[in-house]
Structure 1
Amino acid sequence: MFERDSIDPSGTGAFAPFAHSRAGGGVRTLERDRTVVVPLRPGAAPAPEAVPPVVAEPELLPVLPALAPLLPGGGLRPGTAVSVTGDTGLLLALGAGAFTEKTRDTAWAAAVGLPELGLSAAAGYGYDLRRLLLADHPGPHWPDVVAALAGAVGLILLRPTGPVAPALAARLTAVLRRTRCALLVAGPWPGATQRLSIRTGRWFGLGDGHGQLAGRQVEAVAEGRGTATRPRTAHLWLPDATGAARPLTPAAEPTLTRPALEAV
């Protein structure tokens, strides 16, 4: 029904009625089941009026304190895309700060193309699963799904089905700017303002053929564009024994008695 590159940055396409609602239309929340986005019929509602450009600098979207040192200003800038390579746990933790006590009743997020996303891990990092929309298998229509959701949620976690062409990335970035939605991408993204990855990591908790993993210490690194070109690093538990992300101080020693496992 939709071509791969058929997104409409003006927001007046087939998804426009849903893009200006809050979790209505063709997306159901986890209170029912893990679902996919169902396209709405073209012409189901009149096209919304154009949104005037926002001149004021948007407020940063908060992140968990353990990850704040990685980002300029300590948060995610609405309307931009951040690339996270090689670690779904880092991607998940980076978006968890949107669900603070102040925003818990108003924040919405979506995960697109991430069927392996651990919902227990998401809850451990702080996500409100009642306000997390899931489109597990969007297939080649993922650009249309992202464009629709950008008008309904403040944060989208995405894994594209393949390499993203610069022209497509530019069109979706225009949608993000207009709707002030932040995009976290699992993998490369042309024009990403920040690129995050895990440089080193080691797991704790597994003994000689028995036991279970109980925590991971990592060194995360972020590189960006413009004023954010200088690499930033952070050492943290991702996750700790409780499933949360927290800073790792230089003098901190693991409280677990079983041997550490080096990441390979």
Structure 2
Amino acid sequence: MPGELSPIDKAKFVAAKRAADMVEDGMRVGLGTGSTAAWLVRHLGDRVRDEGLRIKGVPTSARTAQLARQVGIEVITLDEAGTLNITIDGADEFDRDLNLIKGGGGALLHEKIVAAASEEVVVIADAAKEVGTLGAFPLPIEVIPFGWTTTQMLVEELLVAADVMGRRITLRMNAGKPFLTDEGNHILDLHLSRIGNARQLAMALNQMPGVVENGLFVDLCDKVIIGYSDGRVETRDINEGTVSEDRIDLVENDNLFSDI
């Protein structure tokens, strides 16, 4: 129930609610991955059930696909959709230019492909995700398992000349084994503390043999919706240069808060 949520979850709840209201009948919608995106999927499922909203969702991960089907959203592949009207996803960090770090949930490759196929990309987040400079959150890069230690060595050499503060790299683990993405790849987390030039670093990382994709999302986000625990919601549109604010009532909804 809203009253039982933590302040952070309340912020995620209202940001996702505002974003869900942007979705219109007949849209093809990219569905992000992570805790904030899960709220979005539940809100959209609520609209499908109560309003008869007809949408087709393209999930960015297997777990998002499972949740979407559970709440009644029609799930299709990106190949079936072709292009998307909108993608709504969370972020681990965003800056004032709406550049992002994503991939904390391990779905950065699918998330970036889906975002690139979208007419509009909207990020939903709590206020704690905003930073002056990207890099406090470890930057994920997806690498193929073959020769991943060599790939790590090449990335370490690259970081020596990069405009970053830290250079420690760790292999992401899960239950004592290397974490596997939906594509069967590993993730290296780059602990950089500060990234001076996100665009330059993203391009350089993707030139490394073995690197499939990196978690820097540059020039992809059109809007960010920031939620606050008191129900306030702030929407920033990077293209229009506008900032608006409203409020979402934290009203109990049995469908959203059931254990699905």
Output the TM-score relative to the length of structure 2: 0.33
Look at both structures and tell me which one has the larger radius of gyration over its CA atoms. Answer: 1
Output the TM-score relative to the length of structure 1: 0.33
